[in-house]
Amino acid sequence: MHEKEGAEQSIDTTPSPTAEQIYRTLFDFAPIPIVISDIKGNIIEANIWMLEEFGYSLKELQELGAKHLYEDPNARSEIAVRIGKERKLRDFEVRMKRKDGTTFPAILNVDPVQRGTAIINLTSIRDITKQRAYEKVLSRDRRANNIIAEAAFNTTTLDEVYHKVLVGLVDTLGFDLGTINVYEPESKLLILKASTGVGDDPVELSMHIDDESWVTASAARLRKPVMASDVTKTEYYKTHREKLDRRKVRSLISWPIIGAEDELLGLINIASRSVKEIGEEDIGFFNTVAGMFVTVLAQKQAEEELRESQELFQMFTDNMPGPVYIKDHESKVIFINKFMRMTGMNQDWAGKTNNELFAQKTAEERTIADRKVLEEGPIEEIQRMLGSDGSPVTYRRLKFPIPRDNRPPLIGGFSVDISEQVKAEEALEAAKDRAEFFTDLMAHDINNIHQGVMASLELLLTGYEMKPEARELTQNALNQIHRGVALIANVRKFSQLGEEKAKLTKTELATEILTAKQVVIQSFPHKMINVDIKGLDSETYVEADGFLRDAFFNIMHNSAKFDISDKPQIDISIKKDDKENFVVIEISDHGSGISDEQKEKVFTRLQGRTQRSSGIGLTLVKQIIDRYRGSIKAMDRIEGDYTKGVKFEIRIPRVMS
């Protein structure tokens, strides 16, 4: 370390309670699980972090022994052999087991230490579950981004897009073969567009969606992913076995590609000739890629040990894999551990204060921090510095008071190297930024295409004579483009909701509802929309922001869209719940309604498909209302008959005028 906390001096040899307190406090405040055991695996001591991590009491650990902490009890024997050969163990990865039976990956560092005539092992344990999860998510996200980026920017035809995405998925997930089929609704056929790994075995160029002998057709018909780790152990695939056996398929994923209007676009199918475990990570990865693909297409025990606390304290601190130091109440250094001495600290610093060790500004900052520890208790901070090889190193540093009987408290400190975790988090954030960049870029280009198409269609409708059938088709095409523009706008709003912290202000409800009403009416020039509002006054206020208008617009827009009549009727009722201080807004329509099964799902568009849902408008509405600490639910306009229309009830905290 190039920032110096002080130097070692002789350990305080006052009576054992003082040494005991220092040792116990340091041992318990070590921010990682630490256990002390003999060479036979009998546990002597464990700190509080160890007990909390594994769920055992110290007595239970002592009765069980070290081997019960491993998922594979033989791992302890392997560690003992390694220590016998290498004298110590560094960064040994193994799976550990808690009292409740759950397991986790961990890194062990073991240091044998001579204590009297016996040898004890000082073992530190670091849970790397989050690190592995970060790395796995990062790897999957990076692969997904690369697959989509390659398909989006290094191809010229749709066939090339299909091929690049398919090959990328098969290679990334370690499968053997795959196909992509595009659905033609007129013929109800799934048309082959790309294949890989099929060899000389001919692939069907098309199949009917109602052909039950094909797994692909079943997934398309159900519009739900079909997945199997081993098709031979699932009764469902019995009717498909002939075709699966022909290509020796054991594992498969058949994933429907659903468009912005909830229409079936096609399927991505990949398969393996060996058994593949398909987990949540694979499903999430596949869901991300499939979603992005649509856009491309349109992580001490007893008194006996305490009497030996001074020796254990020295062993403990000198075997910690990071800096440890102690200062007195005047910020004078009285101890640094072996780690600090080996990285440039000097014992001549014993007895020196912050002012004698650091530049004026740094000394003042450290003295203020030391006083804060003594007055308020432990503090945690992040410290960045250069390592011995010149590379950046990040430490999580913990400072804490060490109480002493009838004497001023001391200041203890630990640092834990978290450089790898920081690197993983930074890399994950960079991957997220790249994904957002690609989304923005593609959305921008698609919007430019939309504008050109809209201009051409509007010119056709206003400047040319057309047959009624042609005019209707042209108008339908223009409506679809408008929907695409709205979908992109909603996607951007999702991004903004996630990026911006809610800044809510006193907002007049009437203005937001009336403005949204006007925009909805203008959005459907060929419909005579009637919006009847009751209970609205200019003295009703809520805590909201600019997204409130979008929420009302999306609900009324859906009501108008799903009402097949030329004169859609929308009824809005505003009431005040004075008891709970809420404003209750009810919006009812006469459209196709929402079934009981879909009433909850309609607000979770990103987690599945709904019959009524179009785009992601209602999911956006739910997130906006949640932003205001409110609630929304869907009900039947006429209770018991969902086909007569839907009623949305919105509750938002009221602000007194």
Q: Are 148 and 293 in contact (CB under 8 A)?
A: yes
* Nearest alpha carbon to residue 509 among 377, 629, 654, 637: 654
Section 159-180 average pLDDT: 86
Question: Strand, coil or helix: what is 185?
Answer: coil
Work out the pLDDT band at 445, boundaries 50, 70, 90.
Answer: low
Q: Where are the beta strands (DSSP E) in 342-460?
A: 379-386, 392-404, 407-417
* Nearest alpha carbon to residue 490 among 437, 555, 560: 555
Task: Identify the DSSP state of 346.
Answer: -
Determine the Cα–Cα distance for residues 128 and 107; give it in Å rounded to an integer.
Answer: 7
pLDDT for res 400: 87
- Among 161-165, 374-378, 556-560, the least confident range: 161-165
Determine the Cα–Cα distance for residues 302 and 290; give it in Å rounded to an integer.
Answer: 59
Q: Is the dihedral of CA 49, 55, 60, 63 positive or negative?
A: negative
Provide the CB-side half-sphere exposure for 182 (13 A, CA).
12
Model pLDDT for residues 35-73, shown as the tens digit of each residue: 888 888 899 888 888 898 999 999 999 999 988 999 998
Model pLDDT for residues 349-370, shown as the tens digit of each residue: 678 888 888 888 888 988 898 8
Which residues, in sequence order, are bridge partners of residue 648? 587, 634
Model pLDDT for residues 519-557, shown as the tens digit of each residue: 888 888 888 999 999 998 888 999 988 788 888 988 998
Section 143-162 average pLDDT: 74
Using alpha carbons, list the distances in angstroms from residue 190 to 119, 218, 272, 646. Answer: 71, 11, 21, 35
DSSP characters over 8-77: --PPP-S-HHHHHHHHHHHHHH-SS-EEEEETTS-EEEE-HHHHHHH---HHHHHHH-GGGGBSSTHHHH
pLDDT for res 615: 43
Inter-helix orientation angle 280-297/158-173, to 10°: 170
pLDDT for res 447: 64
What percent helix, strand, coil does the chain show, rounded to 5?
45, 25, 30
* Nearest alpha carbon to residue 582 among 511, 536, 631: 631
Main-chain phi, psi angles of 98, to 5 degrees: -85, 175
Return the ∠ at Cα 45 (arms to 41 and 50), rounded to 5°. Answer: 95
Main-chain phi, psi angles of 499, to 5 degrees: -85, -35
Determine the Cα–Cα distance for residues 399 and 330; give it in Å rounded to an integer.
Answer: 15
Main-chain phi, psi angles of 535, to 5 degrees: 85, 10
> First-to-last CA distance in the chain?
59
Section 91-113 average pLDDT: 91
Section 154-165 average pLDDT: 79
Q: What is the CA radius of gyration of the chain?
A: 33
Determine the Cα–Cα distance for residues 146 and 152; give it in Å rounded to an integer.
Answer: 10
Q: Where are the beta strands (DSSP E) in 560-630?
A: 569-577, 582-588
Q: Are 557 and 526 in contact (CB under 8 A)?
A: no
Q: Could you count the other beta carbons within 10 Å of the beta carbon of residue 24? A: 17
Reading the block at residue 215, the tokens are 């797994």
Provide the CB-side half-sphere exposure for 237 (13 A, CA).
23
Q: Are 542 and 583 in contact (CB under 8 A)?
A: yes
Q: Which amino acid is at 639?
A: E
Question: Strand, coil or helix: what is 482?
Answer: helix
Main-chain phi, psi angles of 266, to 5 degrees: 165, -160
Main-chain phi, psi angles of 519, to 5 degrees: -65, -40
pLDDT for res 12: 46
Task: Give residue for tokens 């996200």.
Answer: 141
- 3-state SS track over 202-266: CCCCEEECCCCCCHHHHHHHHCCCEEECCHHHCHHHHHHHHHHHHCCCCEEEEEEEECCCCCEEE
Return the ∠ at Cα 624 (arms to 632 and 642), rounded to 5°. Answer: 30
Main-chain phi, psi angles of 106, to 5 degrees: -145, 160
Task: Identify the DSSP state of 501.
Answer: P
Question: Strand, coil or helix: what is 564?
Answer: coil
The more confidently predicted of residues 13 and 110 is: 110
Q: Which amino acid is at 93?
A: E
Inter-helix orientation angle 280-297/129-153, to 10°: 20
Provide the CB-side half-sphere exposure for 222 (13 A, CA).
14
pLDDT for res 632: 93
Q: How far out from the chain centre does Cα 113 lie?
A: 42
The more confidently predicted of residues 199 and 508 is: 508
Work out the pLDDT band at 393, boundaries 50, 70, 90.
Answer: confident
Question: Strand, coil or helix: what is 641?
Answer: strand
Q: Are 166 and 193 in contact (CB under 8 A)?
A: no
Residue 29 has pLDDT above 50, yes or no: yes
Determine the Cα–Cα distance for residues 259 and 352; give it in Å rounded to an integer.
Answer: 70
DSSP characters over 299-311: ---SHHHHTTHHH
Q: Could you count the other beta carbons within 10 Å of the beta carbon of residue 637? A: 19
* Nearest alpha carbon to residue 166 among 141, 148, 188: 148
Q: Are 272 and 175 in contact (CB under 8 A)?
A: yes
Q: Given the DSSP bridges, would you call strands 641-655 and 103-115 parallel, antiparallel or unpaired?
A: unpaired
Residue 7 has pLDDT above 80, yes or no: no
Model pLDDT for residues 190-213, shown as the tens digit of each residue: 999 899 988 877 788 888 998 887
**pTM of structure:** 0.34
Reading the block at residue 341, the tokens are 């001495």
Return mean pLDDT, the chain: 80
* Nearest alpha carbon to residue 338 among 358, 321, 353, 357: 321
Q: Which amino acid is at 6?
A: G
pLDDT for res 119: 84
Based on DSSP, count helices (H) and strands (E) in the chain, helices before strands: 19, 23
Q: Are 454 and 479 in contact (CB under 8 A)?
A: no
Residue 441 has pLDDT above 60, yes or no: no
Model pLDDT for residues 556-601, shown as the tens digit of each residue: 988 998 888 889 999 999 998 888 899 999 999 998 899 988 887 8
